[in-house]
Structure 1
């Protein structure tokens, strides 16, 4: 998959393209449907499939106080989109110039730079100044300017429309198992392993202390069954999120104990997939009581994996 960050880099390079438009901030099952339809359209027409999105959430410009935390890092989003078969990812910075474009001017931008034969959008897609552009407006322009507009129905789970907002709510509540089918995969936090206080090793359960990528959403405090990818291999594990109230004064952190792992991960970037919440964070009388509970947490995780 080719990746571009500026429209000027892609102008005129592709013709007869199929374009998926959207924020795609979670690449959840609804987003996957839109991108997959664009890929299918491109294969039918013989053109390139292009995912046109933004490197930053539009709300970071429109209303920064309401800009949501990231469901995926930029690198992971790129990986997920590539896995769907897209030929090109165009991820441009959303800025005030784009914000002020009229719907008609935005359509001109699409046609002049991407030369689409097909554009795929979700039913709630909006574009142009104040979000005044609609899928219907895009379809009207397509009939005049020679491109087809495909609008797949919204994806629902148990009667509820899948959305990034809903997924964020579930993750913040610790309901990672409920978020997984909406994402189409487990929720993932990627980060660098840093040196912690070494207390887990002292208790007999060494942990990787993970610094999450800036702006990334983190599940509610508690203990989770997880799968951890170190880059070389994957391990089942147990992760604790919280400020470890048994030892007061500790900053909120993510600590993962990898079952069956022995080695040094300091400085490495690892990925933690959250599979199920095992319990809420608790305060214990001391180190021995905490050690006993960690043993029970590991046993609960092993039962989960079985």
Structure 2
């Protein structure tokens, strides 16, 4: 798969493709169905498939404080798209200039001059251009005039439920990881590199890996039973994700993972933390001793869970 960062990096050889446009946050089963149809159209027309995404996502640019938490950061999204057999990803920097393009300018600049699109798959509720002035009907008219076809991406339903990133976030917010996995087509996990932290957990007797989140908000908060993928092996553990209210922090979310019975240096390594069950909400404790007692209880609960249910061990 080829990644093109920015419209300015498009070259003549990139012209001619079938394309879809969207956030593709989480690359859930609804997205997967769109990408499957995109691959079919690409084979029919003998051109590459291309997914156009934005960084940051438009709502994160316009209303950062109220934008929904991401299911996957950019690096993970690109890897998920690669896994779906996409030929090319065009990642556009969403800024004032791009957000200010009229619907006509968006079509001309990106779809025609940039990509030379032959076929476009978008949701029938897709809006684009300055003040969201462009819609599906606008695209169909533009396609008829400019020589590309436009097809509405069909909504995917599972057990009568429309699959969407919002539904996945709702499931995660309710700690319903079974439903989240059903909607995503895989267990929900967070990947990141292990950074040096305050080493407070080590002082409390329970060393943790401080996993870099690189996102403004996350869809989870609390203490969870997790499995951590290290060199292809899944290790059971317990994780806290939140703002660490008992200790002085920067107010941003952190992911700290205690891997049961693991001995080794994880600093600088990329881990994937898969979430299975919520133990409790994050809370502020009156003292470090109270925090230590709670952490020990969380670790004991994790051990009891994995040891008591061997068929669920990762």
Question: Shorter-chain TM-score: which interval?
Answer: 0.7 to 0.9
Gaps of 5+ in 1: none
Separation of aligned partners in 1, 2:266 and 2:187: 22
The residue number in structure 2 matching 1:296 is 301
The residue number in structure 2 matching 1:99 is 99
CA contact (8 A) 1:102 1:129 kept: yes
- 1:12-63 superposed Cα distances (whole Å, 9 cap, x missing partner): 3234311111122332222222222212211221101111111211123333
Gaps of 5+ in 2: none
The residue number in structure 2 matching 1:208 is 209
1:4-23 matches, cutoff 5 A: 4-23=4-23
Separation of aligned partners in 2, 1:50 and 1:3: 10
The residue number in structure 1 matching 2:122 is 121
Which stretch shifts more, 21-30 or 113-122?
21-30
Separation of aligned partners in 2, 1:293 and 1:74: 31
Moved over 6 A (4+): none
The residue number in structure 2 matching 1:74 is 74
- Pairwise CA RMSD: 2.8
CA contact (8 A) 1:179 1:186 kept: yes
Separation of aligned partners in 2, 1:116 and 1:9: 16
Separation of aligned partners in 2, 1:266 and 1:218: 25
Separation of aligned partners in 1, 2:291 and 2:152: 58
TM-score w.r.t. structure 2 length? 0.83
Q: CA deviation at 1:98?
A: 2.1
CA contact (8 A) 2:21 2:122 kept: yes
Q: CA deviation at 1:104?
A: 2.1
The residue number in structure 2 matching 1:269 is 270
Aligned length: 302
CA distance 1:126–1:256, shift in 2 (3 Å)? same
- 1:118-155 superposed Cα distances (whole Å, 9 cap, x missing partner): 11112321112222222232122222322121212212
Separation of aligned partners in 1, 2:53 and 2:24: 7
Corresponding position: 1:228 with 2:235: no
CA contact (8 A) 1:29 1:162 kept: yes
TM-score w.r.t. structure 1 length? 0.85
